[in-house]
Amino acid sequence: MTDGRATWARSYYRDTTGDELRSVLTLMGPGGRTVETRCTVESQDGPSDCEMPHRSSCGGPEECVAVAERAGGGGSPDRAAEGVPLLLRSGSDPVPSVAG
């Protein structure tokens, strides 16, 4: 998401499993720059979100890609080797430039 010169990532979820999930948001920009935020996803019936802090823009929406990953069992997506299942990985595509 962008707003003026700030860029950030946000993902919405609804977890009715009764188990805690872990979420990692990664925002990738030009030049291999990445920003990562980790959230604990509590089980609840209503929707909630995981949002990273707003930072100086990575240039524009056409230059950034965001990825959200969720893992179960109290682990985190980067701990798949510990037997924690990765439940969901979703990502954005850069917005194509409009030729003028």
Instruction: State pLDDT tens for residues 28-59.
Output: 877 778 888 888 777 777 777 788 777 776 66
The predicted-structure confidence for 3-18, as pLDDT tens digits, reads as follows 777 777 787 777 777 7
Q: The domain that contains 16 carries what CATH number?
A: 2.60.40
Would you say 68 and 23 are in contact if contact means Cβ atoms under 8 Å apart? yes
Q: What pLDDT is stored for residue 99 in this prediction?
A: 53
Number of domains in the chain: 1
Average pLDDT over residues 59-78: 66
Report if residue 83 sits inside a domain.
yes
What's this model's pTM, rounded to 2 decimal places?
Answer: 0.62
Q: Which residue has the higher pLDDT, 50 or 91?
A: 50
Distances in whole angstroms, Cα of residue 53 to Cα of each of 23, 37, 96: 15, 8, 25
Domain of 12 in residue numbering reads as 2-91
